[in-house]
Amino acid sequence: MAIDDVLGYAGRRVVVTGAASGMGEATARLLVELDAEVVALDVKPTSLEGATGMQVDLRDRASIEETAAALDGPVHAFFNCAGLPGPPFADLDVMLVNFVGARHLIDSVVPKMPSGSAIAYVASAGGLGWQQQLGTLMELIQTDGFDAAKAWCEAHPELITGSGSYLFSKQVINAWTTWRAFELLDKHGIRLNCTNPGPTSTGMMPYFHEAVGQSMVDAAQGPVGRYSTAEEQAWPLIFLNSPRCSYVSGETFFTDGGFYAALQNGQLDFSKLMGS
């Protein structure tokens, strides 16, 4: 007997941030095709047919709270795809969009998410090594609310300067996912996971090339030998948030074309790749 709705999204309300472009747009579009009731959020207007568009500025607490209040429940799945690449964007803005504001929006929507729902958050393979920074990361992770987290970032400019703001924000997401997943599942029945994409062909890529150099980005392609597409990153997010992953939570899932695996077992030497 065939299963028509194998991922179980038909009729379920889902929220996608960063839905105007890149991974967010691909995720929202695929979810519409899967017959989900899609709410597409972005700081820019969205025009995805079949979705309800709303604007939110993740740098602004009032905007976040107004958006969360306006969302109809229940919300069965939340996809956080919004993000900034670092330069030329301000360091603080990168932290607010990539973590502080996104976390506040998620926390504000959690009361509308029933047991069995799920959250998937786009981090990055650039967040490698977060475990070695856990003490510092936990200081930010354990701040209480938007204002306290913003103040922490403002008090630690040495950690979020230039392209470092992007990398630090992605380390925070990885650490926060593993830390927050326990409470969300234990108290609310909500699963939380993040993905760690490798280089992906989106509108952000020219900024990465400018900020850190194309050779560094290319070196992180891994054995697949190419950049991923936005759709190739969207499908793992959709799978993780589907009822088919009901036993998966707290995972930092690498979607990087084999880069992390090859790095772990010595088949790739990142420093030599950079040297070449």
Q: What is the pLDDT of residues 31-81, one digit of tens each?
A: 999 999 999 999 999 989 999 999 999 999 999 999 999 999 999 999 999
Q: What does the pLDDT look like over 161-214, one tens digit per residue?
A: 987 899 999 999 999 999 999 999 999 999 999 999 999 988 888 888 887 888
β-bridge mates for residue 121, sequence order: 80, 194
- The Cα–Cα gap between 30 and 17 comes to 14
- The Cα–Cα gap between 27 and 88 comes to 26
What contacts 125, CB < 8 A, 6 or more positions away? 196, 197, 198, 220, 254, 256, 259, 260
Cα torsion through 237, 242, 248, 251, rounded to 10? 10
- The Cα–Cα gap between 41 and 46 comes to 7
Q: Which CATH number fits domain 13-275: 2.40.110.10, 3.40.50.720, 2.40.30.60, 3.30.1130.10?
A: 3.40.50.720
* pLDDT for position 2: 45
β-bridge mates for residue 253, sequence order: 195
With tokens 């936005």, the residue in question is 230
What are the extents of the domains in the chain?
Answer: 13-275
* pLDDT for position 30: 97
Q: Is the peptide bond before 199 cis (omega within 30 degrees of 0)?
A: no
